[in-house]
Amino acid sequence: MMKRLLAVWHARNLEFLRDRPTLLFTLLLPLGVVIGMGFIFGGPPRPLFTVGVIGNTIDTHANPFLHERYVQSVPIHSEADGLYKVTHQSIDLLLDLEGTARYWVNTDSPKGYIVEKLLIATGSGARRQPVTGQAVRYVDWLFPGILAMNMMFSCLFGVGYVVLRYRKSGFLKRLHATPLSAFEFLSAQVLSRLSLIIFVTAILYVAIAAIIHFHSAGSIALLLLLAVLGSLSMIALGLTIAARFASEELVGGLLNLLTWPMMLLSGVWFSIEGSPRWVQWAADIFPLTQVIDAARAVMLEGAGIGRITPNLIYLAVTTLVFLAFGAWSFRWRVE
Amino acid sequence: MRRVRPGDAVPEIAPILEVHNLVKQYPSVTAVDGVSFAVPEGTCFGLLGPNGAGKTTTIEIMEGILPPTSGEVRYRGEPLGARFREEAGILFQKTALQDFLSVRQSVALFRGLYGQGLDVDEVLKVCALEKLASRDNRKLSGGQQQRLLLAIALVNDPKVLFLDEPTTGLDPQARRNFWELVESIKARRKTIILTTHYMEEAQLLCDEIAIMDGGRIVAQGAPQQLLTEHFSEVLLELPRHEFPEVARQLPLKLIDASDRVEISTHDLDGTLRALIEARVPLRNLRIRPANLEDLFLELTGKELRT
């Protein structure tokens, strides 16, 4: 038995070692992840709670609460801005230290609940103020992110592996012998996946909204337009990966390389308010960030088309750029 | 350019495909090394050769699938372009189709990629696939699979049809069945380019053949003409164990095969007399004319390639 096992083990090792792009990628990816993690999460321990303090600068000696470990304070320019951020889960608590200390907290936010206990325990003496207007529940805040993340996985993995399989089986080579162009083929893949994703996302939306009793503040038609443009952009991104490679391991690795940072930095699970500016800037490049920002604006605040036009334009432009790049670098057959 | 040999008739039909000095170089090997020929419209042209001779590389360059390192292919006098793609039908050596599609849906998919073509039902009928129309394309036998791929190659009613080793791996019955199909297509005046290593297939279907070896054409012409050119002799075959050692002293051209001895001669009467005088038993003697297989082996060698 050992002999047979060793024979297969050896042959598989050779196959892996001789697949140069995959080997290189397998070695470089962990290195990249370590360096990236070091940049993002290195340095002092990450704060667990983000507290907005009204004022242009923060005097951390003004209140013992601000010395607590895992509490990060960010300056907030106005009370109105701070209240908006509290209700929309961007910050966990808003503090005003001018005169009699006051604070505002979103009681629907789990982190807000805990950080309030911490504030009271430190004996800061701040008084709780009523939060006016509709506070956004965490589950409502999470909803657009979850939908968009599901879309992202379906877009990237759904087309990436399919095109790879077509190439490896020789089906693409057969299509190449017909008048079909690379752009036509890729566009057909995009449209096929798009209709599927919109169908699935619509079902998910209706089902989850019914379960959590959610009502979108903004137009459903606008959300549909956003979902279409967002899906297009992410499917086209998946095609740029699938355009030329013929190794499952390499394509799988590259797709993971794209999906993980998007999942962590696009604000699906938590707001990246308070992160270094360059992290926020990098996150804005991802189509997923654009989709989630716009979806939250429409679903939670009832934003109209004017407010999310920059996001829509960004998604449309990236779709064209990714598709053009995919068509340009496309390979019909295994080289 | 068509190689004009002494005694060749000047081709009357304009070539539909011309191959000019094709070269395909890979880092470690020259797969095609200066190949030129022309295919007149309505004929069947066969590329023959052992494995690795460069047949598939040549046909894939002709199909516009592989770019040549140098040289060019012209279709109706023009470089391969949109018109060629519309008018060419291709059957590759290996093709996978899209999963979960029935036979009819697979044909319909390809029909949708062409402006002009045949009705899907008509193609299914031509390739005897009507009864299999609703079957999943992955659940076909080898012969049925090849018929489906042929149907896909015919769906645009092509002017020129490329068949790359279409019957390799088929059982003898499926092979004959496939040949009948190709003959019916030939009867419709389609131009066919065929690669094969079955000499019987080439002899049956091809009007003209080119034998390739090491990336070059080593002989070209009509099958019968090539045989006449290379073999004015007939072959006598005798079982080896019945061939006495003394007979080896006779002034005969002997070829030893594993179980038999072949004698190649111009003078059949004289050779037979000599064998009788040497008391060689003749009850298992077979006399046959040389066929393409003999020509193939003579030109490309009999020894195993390393």
Residue A16 lies in a domain: no
Give a yes or no: residue A268 inside a domain. Answer: yes
> Cβ B114–A179 below 8 Å, yes or no?
yes
Q: Could you tell me the CA-to-CA distances from B85 to A173, A180, B70, B188 in Å, in that order?
A: 13, 9, 21, 20
pLDDT tens track for B286-298: 888 777 777 877 7
Q: Is residue A184 part of a domain?
A: yes
Q: Are A72 and A171 contained in the same domain? A: no
Interface test with B, best of A163, A165, A173, A174 (most B CBs within 10 A): A174
Closest CA to B152 of B214, B95, B110, B112: B110
Task: Say if residue B303's pLDDT is above 90.
Answer: no
A323 within some domain: yes
Average pLDDT over every residue of A82-102: 85
Domain assignment present for A44: no
Residues A123 and A201 in one domain: no
Cβ-nearest to B97 among A171, A180, A332: A171
Tell me: do A162 and A263 sit in the same domain.
yes
Residues A115 and A158 in one domain: no
Q: Which residues of A touch B92 (CB under 8 A)?
A: 170, 173-174, 177
> Of A83, A104, A128, which closes a domain?
A128
Query: Which chain A residues are closer than 8 Å to B67 by Cβ?
Result: none
Chain-chain contact of A173 with B65 (C-beta, under 8 angstroms): yes
Distance in angstroms between the alpha carbons of the first and the last residue of chain B: 33
Residues A96 and A145 in one domain: no
Q: Domains plus CATH for chain B?
A: 15-229 (3.40.50.300), 232-289 (3.30.70)
Number of domains in chain A: 2
Residues of A with Cβ-Cβ distance to B86 under 8 angstroms: 179
Top pLDDT among B18 and A27 is at B18
Tell me the nearest-neighbour CA distance from B303 into chain A, angstroms: 31
Identify whether residues A62 and A114 lie together within a single domain: yes
Buried b (16+ CB within 10 A) or exposed e, B260-292: bbbbbbeeeeebbebbeeeebeeeeeeeeebeb
Residue-wise pLDDT tens digits, A266-324 = 888 777 776 777 888 888 999 999 999 999 999 988 889 999 999 999 999 999 999 99
Q: Which of A77, A107, A128 is the last residue of a domain?
A: A128
Q: Which of 149-168 (B) contact A at CB < 8 A?
A: 152, 156
Supply the pLDDT for residue B4. 45
Pick A200 or A271 by higher pLDDT.
A200
Say yes or no: A123 and A147 in one domain: no
Is A36 within a domain?
A: no
Print the domain residue range for A305.
138-329
Q: Tell me, yes or no, whether A19 lies in a domain.
A: no
In a domain, A34, yes or no: no
**DSSP assignments along B268-281, one per residue:** HHHHHHHHHHTT--
Question: What confidence tens digit (pLDDT) does each residue in A224-249 have?
Answer: 999 999 999 999 999 998 888 888 88
Confirm if A173 and B92 have CB atoms less than 8 A apart: yes
The CATH number given to whatever domain includes residue A58 is 3.40.190
**Cα-flanking dihedrals φ and ψ of residue B52, to 5°?**
85, 10
Hey, which residues 166-185 in chain A have their CB within 8 Å of chain B? Answer: 166, 169-171, 173-180
Tokens of A230: 């967002």
CA distance A186 to chain B (A): 14
> CB–CB of A169 and B110 under 8 A?
no
Residues A282 and A177 in one domain: yes
Which tens digits make up the pLDDT trace of B178-217?
A: 999 999 999 988 999 999 888 888 888 999 999 998 899 9
Q: Are the beta carbons of A177 and B86 separated by less than 8 Å? A: no
Give A-chain residues touching B156 at CB under 8 angstroms.
178
pLDDT in tens, B116-136: 899 999 999 989 899 999 999
Q: Chain B residue closest to A167 (CA)?
A: B96
Q: Do A83 and A195 fall into the same domain?
A: no
Return phi, psi of residue B90, to 5°. -130, 135
Percent of chain B surpassing pLDDT 90: 46
Q: Are A201 and A247 part of one and the same domain?
A: yes
**Nearest CA of chain A to the CA of B144: how many Å?**
18
Sign of CA dihedral B238, B240, B245, B248: positive
Q: Which candidate from A166, A171, A179 shows the least CB-CB separation from B82?
A: A179
Residue where one domain finishes, among candidates A128, A149, A176: A128
pLDDT score of B63: 93
Answer whether B282's CB lies under 8 Å from B243's CB.
Answer: no
Is the domain of A148 the same as that of A281?
yes
Same domain, A91 and A180: no
| Exposure string over A175-202, b if 16+ CB within 10 A, otherwise e | bbbbbbebeebbbebbeebbeebeeebe
Chain A partners within 8 Å of B85 (Cβ): 177-179
